[in-house]
Chains A and B, each alone.
Chain A
Amino acid sequence: MKHLLSVDDLGAEGIEHVCSLADHFTEVSQRPIPKVPALRGKTVVMLFFENSTRTRLSFEVAAKRLSADVMGFSIASSSVQKGESLRDTVATISAMGAHAMVVRHRSAGVPAQVAKWCDASVVNAGDGTHEHPTQALLDCYTIKERLGTVAGKHIVILGDIKHSRVARSGIKAFTALGAKVTLVAPATLLPPAVESWPVEVSMDIDTVLGDCDVVYGLRVQLERQGEALLPSLREYSAHWGLTVGRAKRLPTGALVMHPGPVNRGVEIAPEVLDWPNATVNEQVRHGVSVRMAVLYLLLHVDTDKPVL
């Protein structure tokens, strides 16, 4: 595998492979000195055209624990501000000798474009409303850690699915591993042609929550409030949010997941996030292991050298 642009690049087998490799990196992270020399001499560039804290830090930590050199690139201080084209930016960084580029951009498809323009391995760290494959991987890893398996589980995804790359990647990964996925959202936040997706759709949050293994809350994108997608946040949390009342009716052992950052009190009640079945921080921790696994898989063999 040269790039990770979409969950489709992995398939069920690939996801399982990443998860089992992530186990080894979880062990590495628990060592007194959590660092291995595996990617010594490799350069990983963080090409973040969109603001991000947790994903960027997570990839940086992952790369550093593998002893890779990390180059940062932030839009505020770059020539993109001076009008440099995306392709020229990529060419410049490529010329410095990057082995991997971790790309985030607010436009769908940019990681795929970058992959066409350079020799480096490209990891999609979130492109517009398209995909965020490493998030889906860490979510699968978290579910496996907690529930043993993803297959056969009923995962309810709640919130702004239309604009969510997390949901797109998550749905692909969960269903590939054999989970049943139900989407719950007001129709304005459902994607077009949702009937072509391998999911069920429900408007009845209370019934669905009574019969699920995982409830996955998505962030309400407050920046989209101008688009008249919702009458008000108050109405949203009352009708579509995971309130304390609703959380109490969840089956025993059902997980409450969220990719972060959380709008406390909008999509999930603050108390619920502190419950033992809420996995928000675990997801962040697993993110490092999974991203180490992805970087290692992409970079540990020089594909241009013959295998001994």
Chain B
Amino acid sequence: MSPKLASTVIKGGLVVDQTGQRQVDVVVQDGYIVGVGPDLSGDEVLDAGGCVVSAGFVDLHTHLRQPGLEEAETIESGSWAAVRGGFSAVVAMPNTNPPIDCAAVVQEVLALGAKAPCDVYSSGAITVERKGEQLAPMAEMAELGVRLFTDDGTGIQSAGLMRRAMEYASGLGVLLAQHCEVTSLAQGGHMHEGEWSSRLGIGGVPAEAEELMVMRDIALCRLTGAPVHFQHLSTRGSIAMVRAARQGGLPVTAEAAPHHFTLTDEACAGYDATFKVNPPLRPLDDVVAVREGLGDGAVDAIATDHAPHTPDSKERPFDQAPPGMLGLETALSLALGELNLPIAQVVGLLSWQPAAIAGIQDTHGGPIAVGRQANLCVFDPEETWTVNPDTLASLARNTPYGGREMRGRVRHTLVGGTAVVADQEMRS
């Protein structure tokens, strides 16, 4: 009989999951939760006094940049950023180089992900090379476990092709996720089209570039019956349409990114490309709408759209810099500090709701019960800290929150029973 591995007890925390909340200790051994109850003990003690103990978070939208842009982020460095932010699982976006559009690249990503501190799931591209012309071999990728397909970075422009993709995907039991952006309206745009773009002389992307595609894909969802997931919704119109579609019983889900409920387009006034992101930062009314959507359930999940870029590329002129900002290490704090929602709801938006969309609810997202895999996050909802770009785990530095004071901080993260972050320190 092999010797039992040492046990870890998370002591003194408030356990929050989809079944409610309770003041209990959690014991973890051999990768699984082996005890939940008052006054438990274990070989190692992780203090959770004053903290919330929840399922590890799941990010539906992470750019890990590998293969192709390893100077900005690697699967390993991005995973460290994830666990620092309380995430035990991330879904890697396919806009790498080469893109994740066939089994070979999926295997490479999964192989690298196996060595990473968090669980790395690969998404797959819907079309070959994300060009929006020809369907990618979704079935061979689905066989390797890919559950979410997207051309993220761009939307599928052809309604006909999107219809075919949805029909094909529904047969495979996988989910299509759409980056909603009508290219012919967004072309030449680098920020939200409105008062600020007009004043700054930067080409604008109208809200309608996003909303038209949301509208179209809701219609296609009705036509095909296939579920569709909307990525990083940023406008009031998009969220209203998704809300109405759900009320009408259509199988649509949606995510929103932290920057879309915390920053407005005014942030671009200094021409700092750190604030350039796609979809762009919107005016306050849209920011409020995103918050409302997260609050009333129109939007299912907070997804970071963590998009690392090298300092060099972000120092280019605004209209030449690539879009995207870091998100993994600040998502929880922003959700706690800015949304004014009950903690259980915030945890749901970050864990069990995205886990269900990603199709990984068996291993991630809770509930916290004996026999479940020990993917856990322990965070202090009151601790304040200041974002210092230089101390982030991500290789990149393009956080728009540098210097900002945050409330709520991850203390421990356990992935597969291992405390990869303990007392805010990364353990390899």
A285 to B85, CA, bound (A): 60
In the assembled complex, A52 has its CB within 8 A of some CB on chain B: no
Shortest beta-carbon distance from B223 to chain A in Å: 31
Contact of B197 (CB < 8 Å), options: A87, A192, A197? A192
Q: With A108-B271, A109-B200, A127-B201 as known contacts, state yes or no: A86 contacts B317, CB within 8 Å.
A: yes
Contact of B270 (CB < 8 Å), options: A107, A112, A128, A165? A112
A113 to B276, CA, bound (A): 15
Shortest beta-carbon distance from A300 to chain B in Å: 28
Residues 81 to 117 of chain A near chain B (Cβ within 8 Å) = 85-87, 105, 107-110, 112-113
Shortest beta-carbon distance from A183 to chain B in Å: 12
A197 touches B316 (CB 8 A): no
Question: B198 — which chain A residues lie within 8 A by C-beta?
Answer: 191-194, 196-197
A224 to B303, CA, bound (A): 38
Question: A67 — which chain B residues lie within 8 A by C-beta?
Answer: none
Question: B318 — which chain A residues lie within 8 A by C-beta?
Answer: 107-109
A192-225: contact bitstring with B at CB < 8 Å (1 yes, 0 no)?
Answer: 1110110000000000000000000000000000
Question: A86 — which chain B residues lie within 8 A by C-beta?
Answer: 315-317
A107 to B194, CA, bound (A): 18
In the assembled complex, B39 has its CB within 8 A of some CB on chain A: no
A192 touches B193 (CB 8 A): yes
A128 touches B195 (CB 8 A): no
B193, closest chain A residue (CB): A192
B201 touches A128 (CB 8 A): yes
A107 touches B197 (CB 8 A): no
A190, closest chain B residue (CB): B198
Name the 9 nearest CB pairs between A and B, nearest first. A109-B271, A130-B201, A107-B317, A129-B201, A108-B201, A193-B195, A196-B195, A191-B198, A193-B198
Question: A192 — which chain B residues lie within 8 A by C-beta?
Answer: 193-194, 197-198, 204, 206
Shortest beta-carbon distance from A97 to chain B in Å: 23
Question: B316 — which chain A residues lie within 8 A by C-beta?
Answer: 85-86
In the assembled complex, B319 has its CB within 8 A of some CB on chain A: yes
Residues 168 to 201 of chain A near chain B (Cβ within 8 Å) = 168, 191-194, 196-197
In the assembled complex, B143 has its CB within 8 A of some CB on chain A: no
In the assembled complex, A267 has its CB within 8 A of some CB on chain B: no
In the assembled complex, A139 has its CB within 8 A of some CB on chain B: no
Question: B312 — which chain A residues lie within 8 A by C-beta?
Answer: 85, 87
A165 to B194, CA, bound (A): 17
Question: A110 — which chain B residues lie within 8 A by C-beta?
Answer: 271, 317
In the assembled complex, A60 has its CB within 8 A of some CB on chain B: no
Interface size of A in residues (CB-CB distance below 8 Å):
24
What would 11 A/B residue contacts be, using CB atoms closer than 8 Å? A87-B315, A105-B317, A107-B319, A107-B320, A113-B317, A129-B203, A168-B201, A192-B193, A192-B197, A192-B206, A193-B193
In the assembled complex, B346 has its CB within 8 A of some CB on chain A: no
In the assembled complex, A160 has its CB within 8 A of some CB on chain B: no
Give the interface centre of A85, A109, A165 by most chain B CB atoms within 10 Å. A109
Shortest beta-carbon distance from B303 to chain A in Å: 29
A192 to B195, CA, bound (A): 7
Question: A131 — which chain B residues lie within 8 A by C-beta?
Answer: 201
Contact of A108 (CB < 8 Å), options: B193, B202, B206? B202
A129 to B191, CA, bound (A): 14
Question: A129 — which chain B residues lie within 8 A by C-beta?
Answer: 201-203
A87, closest chain B residue (CB): B315
Give the B-binding residues of A (Cβ under 8 A).
Answer: 85-87, 105, 107-110, 112-113, 127-131, 165, 168, 191-194, 196-197, 227
Question: A105 — which chain B residues lie within 8 A by C-beta?
Answer: 317
A165 touches B195 (CB 8 A): no
Question: B270 — which chain A residues lie within 8 A by C-beta?
Answer: 112
Interface size class of B (residues with CB under 8 A): 20 to 34
B202 touches A109 (CB 8 A): yes
A108 to B317, CA, bound (A): 7
Q: With A112-B270, A193-B195 as known contacts, state yes or no: A85 contacts B202, CB within 8 Å.
A: no
Question: A194 — which chain B residues lie within 8 A by C-beta?
Answer: 198
A49, closest chain B residue (CB): B317
Give me 5 other A-B pairs in contact (C-beta within 8 A), A112-B271, A129-B201, A192-B197 excluded: A109-B271, A109-B318, A128-B317, A192-B193, A192-B198
B312-339: contact bitstring with A at CB < 8 Å (1 yes, 0 no)?
Answer: 1001111110000000000000000000
Shortest beta-carbon distance from B319 to chain A in Å: 5
A227, closest chain B residue (CB): B188
B317, closest chain A residue (CB): A107
B317 touches A130 (CB 8 A): no
A110 to B317, CA, bound (A): 6
A108 to B200, CA, bound (A): 7
A85 touches B315 (CB 8 A): yes
Shortest beta-carbon distance from A163 to chain B in Å: 9
A117, closest chain B residue (CB): B315
Question: A191 — which chain B residues lie within 8 A by C-beta?
Answer: 198
B200 touches A130 (CB 8 A): yes
A112 to B271, CA, bound (A): 7
Question: A165 — which chain B residues lie within 8 A by C-beta?
Answer: 201
A127 to B315, CA, bound (A): 16
Question: B206 — which chain A residues lie within 8 A by C-beta?
Answer: 192
A275 to B277, CA, bound (A): 50
Question: B194 — which chain A residues lie within 8 A by C-beta?
Answer: 192-193
B316, closest chain A residue (CB): A86
A168 to B318, CA, bound (A): 18
Shortest beta-carbon distance from A269 to chain B in Å: 29
A113 to B270, CA, bound (A): 8
Question: B317 — which chain A residues lie within 8 A by C-beta?
Answer: 86, 105, 107-110, 113, 128
Give the interface centre of A107, A112, A130, A131 by most chain B CB atoms within 10 Å. A107
Question: B199 — which chain A residues lie within 8 A by C-beta?
Answer: 168, 196
Question: B188 — which chain A residues lie within 8 A by C-beta?
Answer: 227
A86 to B197, CA, bound (A): 23
Shortest beta-carbon distance from A12 to chain B in Å: 18
A191 to B199, CA, bound (A): 9
B202, closest chain A residue (CB): A108
Question: A196 — which chain B residues lie within 8 A by C-beta?
Answer: 195, 198-199
Contact of B319 (CB < 8 Å), options: A85, A87, A112, A128? A128
Question: B204 — which chain A residues lie within 8 A by C-beta?
Answer: 192
